[in-house]
Amino acid sequence: MVDREEQTRFPVHNFRLKQQSSYNRASVNPADSVGWFTNHDFNSNDKDHNFIRIEEKDNQKEWVLMEHDKPGAIVRTWMPFLSPDKPNTDIQIKIYLDGAEEPTLQGNMLGLFNGDGLIPYPFAHKSLRSAVSFFPIPYAKSCKITTTGRPFFYQFTFREYEEGTAVKTFSTEEFQQVKDLTVQVGKELLNPRNAHSGEQVTMTSSIPQNGTMSLDLPSGNAAVHTLSLKLADYENDEVMRSTIIKMNADGKETIWCPIGDFFGSGIGLNPYEGWHNTVSEEGTLTSRWVMPYQTSGSISIENLGDSPIEVSLSAEVEDYRWDERSMYFHAAWHGQYPVSTRPFSDWNYVSIEGRGVYVGDALTVMNPVEKWWGEGDEKIWVDGEDFPSIFGTGTEDYYAYSWGGRSTDFYEHPFHAQPRSHVYNKLNRKTSKERSTLGFSTETRTRALDGMPFGSSLKLDMEVWSWTDCEMGYGVGTMWYADASSKSNRKPDPQEALNVPEVPENLDR
């Protein structure tokens, strides 16, 4: 979970990341324009069957939410409040491993995963109106998850290993034995600075309009471990979109992304701290993705804006051992304005060909109305499969919170954050029950144990599903590791990077 360099290598034991969720079972075929975009992703009464089945044990009903009969490991759970303002429930959740008659883990449906129960913070925590856990729960043969009451929304993301992979099943006894290690890793997640002392290369420059500055990296087998950038002036929010970060590794451009989308700040300087990225209140933007190369590399900053910018750039570079599992770090950007919300559609984040692991994204939207914009589900297709490995239940659920029309406050966690929503960010917290989602919102998610390996292809789509017929703005930075021969459908797009949607006039920031 905290070995950033290991993320640069394709997994030793290959797996398919999958998810079982309460997505609407009417979504069967993309050709069915009605069923594919049906929004009823939850269970509210006996007519809803967005779960597997109902069993009875000891005269008590149990709703089966997940059932998996191969070696695997749960690596992410997400459960929302049943009521937006009531974090309590009396429903119990039970996790049965390897066909056991009694659950290996059980507890309150929210309390088990919100950091108050067995699984400690920050692995489990309270998000905005949700309980989220990234603590791994491995199993050698099978896993079944049930609840003692009708489930609402839910997501269980898990690794499916190939048959014959040796997996040691989770036990509460061993969980207690490794408490010291759990505490140590938790402290690292909350103190994400790299404990390295590589070679520092720096540059400070004034970049004119349409100009570029480049920082050459030390030659040889090496990797960037920390990359930091700071502008002298953030007064113009749009500088986060018109300033582009680029990387060339061994002769191939592997990064082209506006800095706001690359570092997860969005439009404007919106501070937060995560495991992979930090945006500080004083304006330093830091990335801790490890970026290896074999012979040569360079980092460039391009100014697409109409005024000169002052930039300070630094990179910490260390030796790196390249092997057959090693991959290059990639980051790309896709933006579009306007995006019509009718008819409903899937908006493609990125499509990749080759071998790699998908590791994160940062989405910024401009919503021109007050009503909620993010009902759309993520749909992630791997290696040409017939149905997505991951089919979600809402954009805010993908970014690990819930009740999005109300949850416009700032929040942060090592693996996800909402740096800005409506007029609120870390420096301007929400104090009312206002429900407006007008204006810009930025959501980030980076992956560790829930990284998505792919052998030949990956396609990530997000539904555009707003309650209002309107025209929105979408921009997303995407991050993945992949072989040199891989390619994506994302190319540099300076024209669209400058096409920043205007914030509605009646929104004061």
SS (H, E, C) 42-63: CCCCCCCCCCCEEEEECCEEEE
pLDDT digits (tens, 9 = 90+) for 264-322: 999 999 999 999 999 999 999 999 999 999 999 999 999 999 999 999 999 999 999 99
Flag whether pLDDT at 97 surpasses 50: yes
Flag whether pLDDT at 508 surpasses 60: no
Mean pLDDT for 389-416 is: 97
**CA 415 to CA 490: how far, in whole Å?**
24
Flag whether pLDDT at 329 surpasses 60: yes
pLDDT digits (tens, 9 = 90+) for 214-235: 999 999 999 999 999 999 999 9
**CA 93 to CA 78: how far, in whole Å?**
13
Strand order across the beta sheet in which 457-464 lies? 390-391, 378-382, 457-464, 345-353, 487-488
Q: Which fold has domain 42-190?
A: Jelly Rolls (2.60.120)
Mean pLDDT for 121-137 is: 97
What is the per-residue pLDDT for 363?
99
pLDDT digits (tens, 9 = 90+) for 419-471: 999 999 999 999 999 999 999 999 999 999 999 999 999 999 999 999 999 99
Token pair listed for 257: 């992304």
pLDDT digits (tens, 9 = 90+) for 239-248: 999 999 999 9
What is the per-residue pLDDT for 58?
87
User: What is the Cβ-side half-sphere exposure of residue 359, based on CA atoms within 13 angstroms?
Assistant: 31
Q: Mean pLDDT, the chain, as a whole number? A: 96
Report the candidate in 282, 264, 231, 396 with the shortest Cα–Cα distance to residue 273: 264
How many residues would you count in the chain? 509
Residue 120 — pLDDT band, cuts 50, 70, 90?
very high
Q: DSSP letter at 415?
A: T
Flag whether pLDDT at 507 surpasses 70: no
105 contacts 172 by C-beta, under 8 angstroms? yes
* CA–CA distances in Å: residue 440 to residues 371, 400, 407: 13, 18, 14
- β-strands 471-482, 356-367: how paired? antiparallel
What is the per-residue pLDDT for 57?
87
Residue 46 — pLDDT band, cuts 50, 70, 90?
confident
Q: DSSP letter at 70?
A: S
Give domain 199-497's CATH architecture: Sandwich (2.60)
**CA 388 to CA 156: how far, in whole Å?**
15
* CA–CA distances in Å: residue 236 to residues 156, 203, 269, 294, 395: 41, 23, 9, 38, 28
Mean pLDDT for 102-121 is: 96
What is the per-residue pLDDT for 506?
57
Domain with CATH 2.60.120.1390 in the chain: 199-497
178 contacts 96 by C-beta, under 8 angstroms? no
Flag whether pLDDT at 509 surpasses 80: no
Mean pLDDT for 48-64 is: 94
**CA 78 to CA 461: how far, in whole Å?**
20
